[in-house]
Structure 1
Amino acid sequence: MYGLPGRITYIIPLEGRQMSVNHIRTCETVYKEVSIGEFICETGERLPEVTLAYEQAGNQNAPLLLICHALTGNQYTVGTEEEPGWWRGLFGKEGIVPEEEFQTVTFNVLGGCHGSTGPASVNPENGEVYRLDFPSITIRDIVRAQKRALEVLGFTHIHAVLGGSLGGMQVYEWGLMYPDAMDKLFILASTPALSDYGIAFNHIGGEAIKRDPQWKNGNYQSNEDLDGFELARMTGMVTYRSRSLFHQRFNRRQNEENYHIQSYLDYQGKKIKKRFDANSYLYLLDAMNHHDITRNRGTLEETAQQYSADVYTMSFEKDLVYPKESMEEFSLLAPHALHFHIDTEFGHDGFLVEFDKWGEFIRYHLLV
């Protein structure tokens, strides 16, 4: 059973459940782009043309699940058997949630670097890469862009919006900006506002990039030149997993050159430079720093009362940046909310692993 005292929900077997739609075998994964035209950011700054890259997977005759990715994530939620996506353990052919029951759509966020318009994109009005001329964006901008993209694609209703970390921030905003657009919200490892502790680590990471001489005020030639980007990623990695997990995995083991934990962090630092854009990283860190659902809406209690959809919040033990207490507080204030805490050694990264510990909670509440 899941929930807080007084809010107990029992899991029941689903094996014999009747399918809710008439299923013709249409489960597949496709990758496309959608243009949403001109876009005005919250700051008033203008983007003349915005494109969002996206993945669409599952049964395209079934209800829609909108998946929102984390900071260095992307649209490849389900992926393929050859290249599994980051949530394939939850969705997809072998996932906990039956692929025949739903279709999933994941957009690479506005400001991202996996096909969507961001700092590494070319400004169509002058033919030059935006770099730091890209406007500042907020979580609300990211959500507005997704909403417009879904409208262009012809979707009129969302069964559920789901996401963790930066993705969870988007889910919070979806429920407030478009309260009647969905039935359910699933927020994993994300608090109503980013804490000072989270902002502090983001600041260290951002400064590591910007103080690198090769960053050149955003005009670097290649990520490969940026040692500061490696340091930013190492800093983030320390917050994503717990002290006890690092101890279990590395336990002060070493080779002739250094400790295994040092080699691990060096590897992660080099890896990020091959798959992500440093300027995009900075823009998304800034969007996370400004995440606060109460901004221009009142107190936390007043804001939480504005949710119409069912809200399911999920916290993970030893998450340094997004503690259980903050998520529980919100859950107790929202009208139709339920909180579930997962015991894990993975800390914040718990929402990307150990699907057997929490996937059934999502599966049950998606299907009831």
Structure 2
Amino acid sequence: MPDLATPGLLAYQPIGDYETEAGGTILDITIAYQRWGTFQGDADTNNVILIEHALTGDTDAAEWWGGLIGPGKALDTERWCVICTNVIGGCSGTTGPASEHPDGGKWGSRFPATSIRDQVGVEKQFLDAIGINRVHAVIGGSMGGARTLEWAAMYPDALDAACVIAVSARASAWQIGIQSAQISAITRDPDWHGGDYYGVCEGPVTGLAAARRIAHLTYRGEMEIDERFGTTAQQGENPLGEFRDPSQRFAVDSYLDYQGRKLVERFDAGSYVALTEALNRHDVSRGRATLNQALYSIKVPTMVIGVDTDILYPFHQQEHLSRNLGNVLSMHKLVSPVGHDAFLTEDRQMDRLLRRFISLVNDGREPTDGFGHDPEGAWII
């Protein structure tokens, strides 16, 4: 029986060292994670669903995906054991640039560059450490979708099915460009100190807030932003004066300032750079074959979900996945003015789609879960 954390509580699991895809070494890794629901089965056949968070997400999937995880919800914790880890390089309990280095001080600039494959390799090492060889499904959106796709490519025998949401088969030049602009905003901040600002100053908070402003415009839909703010001035301010004054803002400027401040309060700039760099390196075909050949070689049953108004990962990229993956369960479109973040905000549509995913994985045989577990409590032989 796996040694799992108490349901709902943050836990920490040491997993040892890891050598990155590019040849770096991360020493004495600790993985932070949470789980909900009761584990049933064994190391190879069980009811585990692994959730992959997005760039600035964390282990508390029951909070940021609260409408979808819990008793009676799409990911029913009376039926499934849901696990969510904090990604390597993160800042919510897992080893990252802000963590203590075994040789003293913070990792800072000594933290190796990582890829999406490294994120998955570390997570597989985590599952091995707690005694789980195989999970029933892996589900993730955005950076979590990239991780889910790599799970299916790297460890096809370790999962029964995958649900890939709002991501592409590889980073496009546009995505690399917009993500590199965010990295540049941080690293050009005088308080970056080459990544070694820990203990020196508060850190590159201005650069991190600017990066978030850029990013947030790609997370939300153009129609939603325009309908909410248009050309309205922030209350009590006048952005149409004789001279430009940064204290006199449009309402959308105030909104983006708020988004930047919120991120600065909860997220580390070093982690933001590390994880954004990992997204730049996302390419399921690297070292394997052509892009379409690499996708076709993935035989794990996979549902693909995209958002019709997504600016960051346009819907045509999910269509490309659905046309070329080797075993597509189904392809679905979230219809929403919200844009990329719709998979986090459109609970009603996502509830329906995740229930559909569970049903398809189980050959449509509700309420059994595909390997014989009856949610009423009996094991079906």
Question: Is the shorter-chain TM-score for this pair beyond 0.5, marking a shared fold?
Answer: yes
Q: Does 1:286 align with 2:269?
A: no
- Name the counterpart of 1:8: none
Structure 2 distance, partners of 1:101, 1:73, is 24
Kindly indicate whether the alpha-carbon contact (under 8 Å) linking 2:18 and 2:26 is maintained by their aligned counterparts in 1.
yes
Kindly indicate whether the alpha-carbon contact (under 8 Å) linking 2:7 and 2:34 is maintained by their aligned counterparts in 1.
no
Aligned residue type for 1:359: D
Once the 2 structures are TM-superposed, how far is the Cα of residue 27 of structure 1 from its aligned partner?
A: 9.7
SS in 2 for 1:366: helix
Once the 2 structures are TM-superposed, how far is the Cα of residue 101 of structure 1 from its aligned partner?
A: 1.5
Q: Does 1:70 align with 2:57?
A: no
Alignment of 1:155-234 (within 5 A): 155-220=132-197, 221-223=200-202, 226-234=205-213
Structure 2 distance, partners of 1:222, 1:98, is 44
Structure 2 distance, partners of 1:273, 1:37, is 30
Structure 2 distance, partners of 1:27, 1:74, is 17
Q: Which runs of 5+ in 1 are unaligned?
A: 1-25, 79-84
SS in 1 for 2:31: strand
- Name the counterpart of 2:73: 95
Alignment of 1:43-122 (within 5 A): 43-61=22-40, 63-78=47-62, 85-93=63-71, 95-122=73-100
- Name the counterpart of 1:242: 221
Kindly indicate whether the alpha-carbon contact (under 8 Å) linking 1:300 and 1:330 is maintained by their aligned counterparts in 2.
no
TM-score, scaled relative to structure 1: 0.88
Of residues 168-177 and 93-102 in structure 1, the stretch that sits farther from structure 2 once superposed is: 93-102
Closer, same or farther in 2 for the Cα pair 1:158/1:301, shift >3 Å?
same
Deviations 1:188-242 (A, max 9, x none): 1000011111111111111111111111211224556521111000000011111
Once the 2 structures are TM-superposed, how far is the Cα of residue 302 of structure 1 from its aligned partner?
A: 1.3
Q: Does 1:314 align with 2:294?
A: no
Aligned residue type for 2:140: G
Structure 2 distance, partners of 1:47, 1:242, is 37
Structure 1 distance, partners of 2:303, 2:335, is 17
Deviations 1:278-318 (A, max 9, x none): 01100111110010000011112211122121111100011
Once the 2 structures are TM-superposed, how far is the Cα of residue 60 of structure 1 from its aligned partner?
A: 2.5
Closer, same or farther in 2 for the Cα pair 1:225/1:212, shift >3 Å?
closer
Closer, same or farther in 2 for the Cα pair 1:366/1:65, shift >3 Å?
same
- Name the counterpart of 1:264: 255
Aligned residue type for 1:357: Q
Structure 1 distance, partners of 2:347, 2:125, is 31
- Name the counterpart of 2:315: 324
* Identity percentage of aligned residues: 34
Aligned residue type for 1:306: S
CA RMSD in angstroms, aligned pairs only: 1.7
Of residues 335-344 and 234-243 in structure 1, the stretch that sits farther from structure 2 once superposed is: 335-344
Kindly indicate whether the alpha-carbon contact (under 8 Å) linking 2:191 and 2:203 is maintained by their aligned counterparts in 1.
no
Kindly indicate whether the alpha-carbon contact (under 8 Å) linking 2:72 and 2:78 is maintained by their aligned counterparts in 1.
no
Kindly indicate whether the alpha-carbon contact (under 8 Å) linking 2:203 and 2:269 is maintained by their aligned counterparts in 1.
no
SS in 1 for 2:213: helix
Once the 2 structures are TM-superposed, how far is the Cα of residue 259 of structure 1 from its aligned partner?
A: 2.2
Aligned residue type for 1:320: I
- Name the counterpart of 2:104: 127
Structure 1 distance, partners of 2:332, 2:230, is 31
Once the 2 structures are TM-superposed, how far is the Cα of residue 94 of structure 1 from its aligned partner?
A: 6.3
Closer, same or farther in 2 for the Cα pair 1:29/1:193, shift >3 Å?
same
Kindly indicate whether the alpha-carbon contact (under 8 Å) linking 2:186 and 2:204 is maintained by their aligned counterparts in 1.
no
Deviations 1:247-269 (A, max 9, x none): 22223333112322111111111
- Which residue among 353, 358, 361 is the counterpart of 2:350? 358
Closer, same or farther in 2 for the Cα pair 1:102/1:27, shift >3 Å?
farther
Once the 2 structures are TM-superposed, how far is the Cα of residue 156 of structure 1 from its aligned partner?
A: 2.2
Aligned residues: 336
